[in-house]
Structure 1
Amino acid sequence: MSEPPPRKPPAVSSAPAPAPEQRNEPRREPSEEELFGLRLSDPYRWMEKKENAGELKSWLTSEGQRTRQHLELLAGHAKLEERVRELGMSQAFASVVRPVGDLVFYLKTDKGGELRKLVVRSSDGRERVLVDPSTMRTATGGHVSIDHYRPSHDGKWVAYGLAEGGGEITNVYVVETATGRVLPEVLPRIWGEFWVSWRADNSGFYYTQMVPESELHGGDPMQGMRARFHRLGDPVPQDPVVLGPGATAGPPFEPQEFPKVRTFPGSRWSLGFGTGARFEARIFATRAKELSATPGKAAWTTVTEYTDLVRDWAVHGDDLYLLTSKGAPNRRVLRVSLEKPNLADAEVVVAESGDVIEEMAFDAKSLYLHMNHNGRSRLRRLPFGTRKVEDISLPFDGWIDDIVADPLREGSIVHMEGWTREDRYFAFNAKSRAFKDLSLVESSGIDVSEFVADEVEATSSDGTLVPLTILHRKDLPKDGRRNAVLEGYGAYGFSLSPRFKPTHIAWLERGGVYAYAHVRGGGEKGDAWRLAGKGEKKPNSVRDFIACGEYLVREKYTSPSYLAAYGQSAGGILIGRAITERPDLFAAATVSAGFLNTMRFLQGSNGANQKAELGSPDTEAGARALFAMDAFHNIRQGVKYPSAMLATGLNDARSSPWITAKFGAQLRWANAGRPVWLRVEGDEGHGVGSTRRQRFALIADMWSFFLEEMGDPEFRTAGSTR
């Protein structure tokens, strides 16, 4: 194993600082505001305005070119990117598996393939491709990705959504499974996470649609959505609204809520939902027959509100099963009759225990429960009509990514993986209690025997024990000189559960350390863990992350000169505040598509949708909580912050590119002498629809930047004194 050289401080130049135009600095425009006693200085607020979109795009594009030119000067960059790509492309993926009768539908990424394609496999093992986005291009030459799909209950039809340029606003098409014929109708402006729900007779489906672009008038495209019904063959513009704005009956919805409709084979009931950027949902029930006969006029009965803390559900016949954390932080399962859905009369069918219930799924005869036992998955099964919960032995000790089942048949499919265990899909036979590897994709053949995952706990500033996963070579010397990356997220109750990432071997095999901080705000320890890092308690997440970094240093996995921080999306809050709170702890940081200016999130696309998680600036308590988590407003001139590389895609509809632009400009203004790079891609969004080449390029760019800042001789530019 090679020894990393001692880190040398950057040379201090005696030359005068270059003029702003030579540094490609954006203009600073004075803007002062006082909100509940908080003084907010924001010289880059002009970037938020639509009339300045051209100027902002021009600056971001030039910054992206500047960063690209710099990375290409690093001698080791091309070799590292080639290795990352070699490892990543050796893995084939299956995802979003859906069994329907004797057919299994799934999204598949081949070894060496860039994008997922929609395939179907018959009972004899033969596989056919139904939709292949790699054969498509946008009008401007950009790529096309498939974001979601759902087969009809009989498997005859599949509705699927295609997005352009890495964005997440899809057009929905319908393909005939037997022939591959694509129907002529196209349903526009459907968010990439919102799959359709087929009616029981398979004549059409319910879907949630964004407001037409012509009606936005500069507003947030994520607001004002409505649920509609499309009958195959009917003109799409005539699709009736069945829930949300425009429906003639039903519950009212806030503009930022997403109305959805779901159907359940074998049940007389359909459910409606109010959701958003939160786990909890409002749930409404109506008879499926009434909804079919009178779209938009059906009578809905409210079953739950957000305060009931319901995060998952299943319908079997007339019974509704609810997974709730109300009064049970590790969650419990309730059953209520849809004939009289009164939660006060709900029966507890699975009580809370020391294990966290992560999700539910059901087949024709049973309810399946995914349990989190100290970061490892357990599977339990509850036959309908009984109170006897059975333990099911899993194929290996790892993590369940998903459980899926056909509600009209017995059995389920379990998707599993681990930190050093490649993901596989297993079919569970309910009668024999046996698992069978479906072999949906071939193994990568990557040898991971040299690597290990240490599962430890760091002590946060208030004494809370924070889970920390540390991946490294088995023969790693703990001498404090290893290059290390600490990744975190800590939002929405999302857990950094075990994932097999072959690309990370490119970092580990160099003697590097890759660690995951399971901070509060995530779901690793149930709902209490999530709430302890939400809203005004978000500083707990930051302190947890810092504690994990300190643990790595104290236990001599690394030292501040070799420690980098990484987060994406809402993880940007965590990383942004960690480096502004403890700049001395990190050598470098990368934030991808990050939430870095929470005081202004309402001005961005997808803004109001975030209120449930972040809070609101309209109250003093809310404003002060947002200020505490706002990395932009916590930058102080003269502080020596870590070097940074900030990534954004110009098609990002979740975290507007101006957020990254503002933070990067402000950090560079304050961070004299320390580099701040902006990595900007035009054919990308939030990362959901990126090609594998794009994902691997981001990893290689980020690690090359880290290695440069850590003093690796292979990543020095010409003339560098580091």
Structure 2
Amino acid sequence: MRALAFSLLGLGLLAGCQSTEQEPLTTSVMPESVRQNVVEDLHGTKVADPYRWLEDLDSPETADWVKRQQQYSNDYLSGIDNRDVIEQRITQLWNYERLSAPFIKGDYQFFYRNDGLQSQSVLYRANKDGSNPQVALDPNTLSADGTVALSGVSISKDGRWLAYGTSESGSDWQQWQFLDLSSGQPLTDTLEWIKFSSASWDKEGKGVWYSRYDAPKAGDDKMEQANYFQKVFYHRLGTDQSEDVLVYERKDQKDWGFGAELSDDGKYLLIYVSKGTDSRNLFFYQDLATGKTVELISEFEAEYGYLGNDDSTFYFQTNYQAPQGRIIAIDVNKPEKANWKELVPESKNTLASASLINDHFVVRYMKDVLAQVSLFDLNGKHTGDLSLPGAGSVNGISGERKDTSFHFLFNSYIQPTAVYRYDFASNKVDSVTQPDVAFDPKDYVSEQVFYTSKDGTRVPMMISYKKGLKRSGDNPTLLYAYGGFNISLTPRFSPATIAWLDMGGVYAVPNLRGGAEYGEKWHQQGMLERKQNVFDDYYAAAEYLIDNGFTNSDKMGAYGRSNGGLLMGAALTQRPDLFAAVLPAVGVLDMLRYQKFTIGWAWTPEYGSADNKADFEYLYAYSPLHNVAKRDYPATMVMTADHDDRVVPSHSFKFAAEVQHQQQGPAPVIARIETKAGHGAGKPTSMRIAEYRDIYAFLWQNFGLEIPKTIN
């Protein structure tokens, strides 16, 4: 929801270096936004939408508005003294070699590497033992400014052919192309109009299955048009896309999405069926020998994730009748639920993911958010747990069915991502690569606490800071959160977080309801008409930090992205008293019209839709755009990008204009609008560093603090 060289400045400690309250910068006059008399009757309620004209992203009026807002925000941010010092420290911390966990295809090993400040990580191919690594694909060569990014790769079973997707300027639209890795020569094949799809190779490496939408009709805006009727196609190498074979479609289900992959034994095409962002899915399979498609799971009642199969026995990770997750076996010749066999039962910890390696289920659990990895044989017998290098997150588990070992990544908020290897024979975890970074993790603390929300719910939160920090009640604090779509915020390392801690800041991440940290029940408690629980969990986290001496409301910053941007909009309109600054980034802020653009309709299982009267009542009650009133708001920086075709930027445009219009206090309200960027995926390193620089500078300025000339 991702190498410059410079001379290091003299090193100094920022913590405790504070000034008296500063006046807001006034480098230019806040732009005025034209208000129009647009009023809609929604279920008997008159709803004003004075900035509806900003939904026309291609109009000259919108372009002029964006230009004036960019000038205003640039003037404000560039006027903050020593902003460049923050950028220098983040750049120094970011500049280290990063490696992914390797994976095997045929006789070759593949991995990603970034030398430090490359815009995009580079894909390498080496011999199976890791020797003789060669560049397979360098996405940094695809554009001069790094704004063309890899959106996905798929390598044929023998390691010869590479299919890769690219997206431009952060768009969700992908174009897939092909490369012969033996010769390094590109193929002429090009696949277009693809969103939310990977490519899966057939057994012989002659072609791929993929999903796509129809090309937009002439005159339709591909950045705003709703996307329906996804279809599964097969593409054979060396042919034009117009010759691709339609494999599966449902003309009666416009909002069904499809993912297709080949089973490990090469006998079946597995078809996942989703409905928007609903975590529940269907599961079909096509017998490639007969071409017959079987609807094995035909009801949207739970999640089902294929892990592997032995002939007709399919293994699934599921939360069917197990909100915390379990592993089951289904014999497709006897598919009735009465015949399903439970292998790994539900436990008190949440099953986050599972893989089938060395004829074992490698299961990643979340134990109060933190990672635990357990091993089970094919009969479900528990054979052991991995000894992990600390309290943090495990990702990127990489291994094949018959491998005797696997690789994985481990990191935390204060530990950079490192590669580890587990060997089944020795039952040992060994370090493979440890990054060489410009800080010592031992100088920092990342602790987990639990607090009580408004309704008595116990909520976990990770709090990170530099050792020696005193609970003075006056520490600058950044409270980041998400809370939705069954997405868990497990510990994740970012060099920018270390820079914030070096500035004397506290970084706190609560695990709000709406996520998957405690299974499907936790998710459901933060969706639809229960969305207010998410907001209340967030406010309780802020109050915990204040009550326990970390900070106060004059030193508290609120930040979230996408669905977390919605949370920020709610925080601004519901509890402006809690925060000195609020930063909604690429946020869903107009809850009455979000479903009308691009893939917004897919979020209705999570949010509901204002097209329905019952949903309208609660959506209207919290929709950030519709709850802005004349009052004194904290400093606000609304963040978006001109190529965001997931949460279209009109959300942020309209919200920023409304808050600017209604602001009664002296705090600034600015719109930071990026050019040639999207929702966040594939953003070049330089752009990411500049974004963090501006976030921290904006917060520091509005905490009434001076940025010093050195940060360490």
Q: Same fold (TM over 0.5)?
A: yes
Residue 100 of structure 1: aligned partner: 105
Q: Please point out which of 192, 195, 198 is paired with 2:198.
A: 195
2:262 and 2:268 in contact (8 A); partners too: yes
Partner SS for 1:419: coil
Q: Please point out which of 458, 463, 469 is paired with 1:465.
A: 458
1:167 and 1:689 in contact (8 A); partners too: no
Q: Please point out which of 692, 697, 706 is paired with 1:713.
A: 706
Q: C-alpha deviations, 1:421-471, integer Å up to 9, x for none?
A: 2212223333332334343x7433531222101211121110111111111
Question: By how many angstroms is 1:502 displaced?
Answer: 1.9
Residue 6 of structure 2: aligned partner: none
Residue 293 of structure 2 corresponds to residue 299 of structure 1: yes
2:125 and 2:134 in contact (8 A); partners too: yes
**Alignment size in residue pairs:** 689
Residue 212 of structure 2 corresponds to residue 209 of structure 1: yes
Residue 653 of structure 2 corresponds to residue 650 of structure 1: no
1:563 and 1:587 in contact (8 A); partners too: yes
Distance in 1, matches of 2:383 and 2:105, equals: 25
Question: By how many angstroms is 1:97 displaced?
Answer: 4.7
Q: How does 1:276-315 map to 2 (within 5 A)?
A: 276-291=276-291, 298-310=292-304, 313-315=307-309
Q: C-alpha deviations, 1:4-36, integer Å up to 9, x for none?
A: 5466375899xxxx9xxx632221111222323
Structure 1 residues 581 and 222, CA, compared in 2 at 3 Å: closer, same or farther? same
1:604 and 1:656 in contact (8 A); partners too: yes
Question: By how many angstroms is 1:289 displaced?
Answer: 2.5
Residue 226 of structure 1: aligned partner: 231
Question: By how many angstroms is 1:234 displaced?
Answer: 1.8
Residue 679 of structure 1: aligned partner: 672
Distance in 1, matches of 2:279 and 2:476, equals: 36
Q: C-alpha deviations, 1:629-687, integer Å up to 9, x for none?
A: 411111112x2121111111111111101110000000111113321111111111111
Residue 435 of structure 1: aligned partner: 429
Q: C-alpha deviations, 1:190-226, integer Å up to 9, x for none?
A: 22x5221111222111011132133684573532221
2:30 and 2:72 in contact (8 A); partners too: no
Q: How does 1:32-431 map to 2 (within 5 A)?
A: 32-49=39-56, 53-90=59-96, 92-95=97-100, 97-122=102-127, 123-137=129-143, 143-191=147-195, 193-214=196-217, 217-218=220-221, 220-245=225-250, 254-275=253-274, 276-291=276-291, 298-310=292-304, 313-363=307-357, 365-384=359-378, 386-397=379-390, 398-407=392-401, 409-431=403-425
Structure 1 residues 342 and 268, CA, compared in 2 at 3 Å: closer, same or farther? farther
Deviates more, 1:58-67 or 1:690-699: 58-67
1:532 and 1:540 in contact (8 A); partners too: yes
Question: By how many angstroms is 1:180 displaced?
Answer: 1.4
1:142 and 1:164 in contact (8 A); partners too: no
1:269 and 1:285 in contact (8 A); partners too: yes
Structure 1 residues 280 and 75, CA, compared in 2 at 3 Å: closer, same or farther? same
Q: C-alpha deviations, 1:123-176, integer Å up to 9, x for none?
A: 2432111111212227xx773211110111111111111122232322111112
Partner SS for 2:441: coil
Partner SS for 2:416: strand
RMSD: 2.4
Question: By how many angstroms is 1:253 displaced?
Answer: 5.8
Question: By how many angstroms is 1:305 displaced?
Answer: 2.5
Q: C-alpha deviations, 1:218-257, integer Å up to 9, x for none?
A: 5735322211101111222110111225xxxxxx563232
Structure 1 residues 6 and 481, CA, compared in 2 at 3 Å: closer, same or farther? farther
Distance in 2, matches of 1:666 and 1:468, equals: 32
Q: Please point out which of 582, 596, 606 is paired with 1:613.
A: 606
Partner SS for 1:184: strand
Structure 2 unaligned blocks of 5 or more: 1-12
Structure 1 residues 316 and 369, CA, compared in 2 at 3 Å: closer, same or farther? farther
Distance in 2, matches of 1:216 and 1:490, equals: 37
Q: How does 1:576-615 map to 2 (within 5 A)?
A: 576-615=569-608
2:226 and 2:596 in contact (8 A); partners too: no
Residue 697 of structure 2 corresponds to residue 668 of structure 1: no
Residue 294 of structure 1: aligned partner: none
Distance in 1, matches of 2:180 and 2:404, equals: 26
Partner SS for 1:598: coil
**Paired AA for residue 23 in structure 1:** M
Distance in 1, matches of 2:69 and 2:500, equals: 27
Question: By how many angstroms is 1:408 displaced?
Answer: 5.0
Structure 1 residues 436 and 240, CA, compared in 2 at 3 Å: closer, same or farther? same
Q: C-alpha deviations, 1:596-653, integer Å up to 9, x for none?
A: 111110222211111122112222222123223411111112x212111111111111
Partner SS for 2:707: helix
Distance in 2, matches of 1:322 and 1:360, equals: 9
Distance in 1, matches of 2:298 and 2:113, equals: 36
Q: C-alpha deviations, 1:380-437, integer Å up to 9, x for none?
A: 22222x2312223234133212322223544322222122222122233333323343
Distance in 2, matches of 1:711 and 1:445, equals: 28
Structure 1 residues 334 and 261, CA, compared in 2 at 3 Å: closer, same or farther? same
Distance in 2, matches of 1:318 and 1:411, equals: 26
Residue 558 of structure 1: aligned partner: 551
Structure 1 residues 236 and 578, CA, compared in 2 at 3 Å: closer, same or farther? same
1:77 and 1:715 in contact (8 A); partners too: no
Question: By how many angstroms is 1:278 displaced?
Answer: 3.3
2:364 and 2:372 in contact (8 A); partners too: yes
**Paired AA for residue 598 in structure 1:** M
Distance in 2, matches of 1:89 and 1:447, equals: 15
1:267 and 1:317 in contact (8 A); partners too: no
Structure 1 residues 621 and 49, CA, compared in 2 at 3 Å: closer, same or farther? same
Structure 1 residues 640 and 9, CA, compared in 2 at 3 Å: closer, same or farther? farther
1:314 and 1:360 in contact (8 A); partners too: no
Q: C-alpha deviations, 1:686-705, integer Å up to 9, x for none?
A: 11010011111111101100
Partner SS for 2:584: strand
Distance in 1, matches of 2:255 and 2:670, equals: 34
Distance in 1, matches of 2:219 and 2:538, equals: 39
Distance in 1, matches of 2:325 and 2:235, equals: 36
Distance in 1, matches of 2:319 and 2:22, equals: 50
Q: Please point out which of 30, 35, 39 is paired with 1:23.
A: 30
**Paired AA for residue 651 in structure 2:** I
**Aligned-residue identity in percent:** 25
Structure 1 unaligned blocks of 5 or more: 246-251, 292-297, 717-722
